[in-house]
C-alpha cells in the first residue's frame, strides 16, 4: 500500500510521518547524549558529545518548525469518533504542549550555551550565532530552564506513548496505524 505524501481523512501522509519519527528519534538521541555527557569522565569525549547534542538539538528545532509549517497547510486526520470530547481536547492540548516544549527546549539550550560563551555550531560545519552575550546569571537560569523542559518533554512523551499503546492494544481503534507507514 502506497502512503500519500499529504494527510488524508484516515491517515497521516508520508511527510508528517517522516517528520514525526525524525523528531522522535532526535529527542530520544538527545536524552541518551545528555545522560552520556553526565556520565563521561573524559573532557574530550564530553566536548564531542556536547557539540553533537547542540547540533542534534538544532536539527530537532528545524524539523519541528517544518512539521508545524506542514501541519498548518496539511490538516491532520480527525480523531476517531469513538473518542469523547474530553479525550479529543486532552489529546489536542497534549500535542500542542509537546510542540511548545520541543520548540522551547533547543531555544533554551541555545540561550544557555550562548550565555556560557560557547555558541552552538552545526556538526562542526557552521557556527551558529549566539542569541545573547556571555552572562553567568542567564547561563544559570537557562541551564535550569533547559533541565525542567527536559522533564516536561519526558513526561509528555511518556503520556503520548502510553496513550498510543492504549489505543493500539486496549481500545484497538487503529489510531496508532495512522502514524506508522505500512511495510509491504
- C-alpha 155/C-alpha 97 separation (Å) is 11
Query: Residue 184 — very low, low, confident or very high, per pLDDT cuts 50/70/90?
Result: low
Q: Domain spanning 14-179: which superfamily?
A: Transmembrane di-heme cytochromes, Chain C (1.20.950.20)
pLDDT of residue 100: 98
Which residues partner with 126 through β-bridges? 122
Which residue ranges make up each domain of the chain? 14-179
The backbone torsions φ and ψ at residue 5, rounded to the nearest 5 degrees and listed phi first, read: -65, -45
Query: Residue 183 — very low, low, confident or very high, per pLDDT cuts 50/70/90?
Result: low
Read off the pLDDT of residues 22-34 as tens digits, 9 standing for 90 and up.
999 999 999 999 9
Per-residue b or e along 59-92, where b marks 16 or more CB atoms closer than 10 Å to that residue's CB: bbbebbeebeebbeeeeebebeeebeeeeeeebe
Q: For all residues of the chain together, what is the average pLDDT?
A: 94
> Cell numbers at residue 39, please?
556520565
pTM: 0.93
pLDDT of residue 1: 64
- Mean pLDDT computed over 152-161: 98
Amino acid at each position: 500500500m502506497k502512503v500519500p505524501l499529504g494527510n488524508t481523512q484516515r491517515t497521516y501522509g508520508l511527510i508528517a510521518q517522516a517528520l514525526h519519527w525524525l523528531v522522535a528519534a532526535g529527542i530520544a538521541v538527545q536524552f541518551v547524549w545528555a545522560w552520556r555527557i553526565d556520565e563521561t569522565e573524559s573532557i574530550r569525549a564530553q566536548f564531542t558529545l556536547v557539540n553533537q547534542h547542540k547540533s542534534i538539538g538544532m536539527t530537532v528545532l528545524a524539523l519541528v518548525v517544518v512539521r508545524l509549517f506542514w501541519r498548518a497547510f496539511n490538516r491532520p486526520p480527525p480523531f476517531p469518533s469513538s473518542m469523547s470530547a474530553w479525550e479529543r481536547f486532552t489529546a489536542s492540548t497534549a500535542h500542542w504542549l509537546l510542540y511548545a516544549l520541543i520548540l522551547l527546549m533547543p531555544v533554551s539550550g541555545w540561550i544557555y550555551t550562548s550565555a556560557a560563551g560557547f555558541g552552538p555550531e552545526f556538526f562542526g560545519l557552521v557556527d551558529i550565532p549566539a542569541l545573547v552575550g556571555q552572562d553567568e546569571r542567564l547561563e544559570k537560569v537557562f541551564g535550569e530552564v533547559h533541565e525542567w523542559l527536559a522533564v516536561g518533554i519526558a513526561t509528555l512523551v511518556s503520556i503520548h506513548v502510553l496513550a498510543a499503546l492504549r489505543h493500539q492494544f486496549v481500545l484497538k481503534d487503529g489510531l496508532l496505524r495512522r502514524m506508522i507507514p505500512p511495510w509491504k
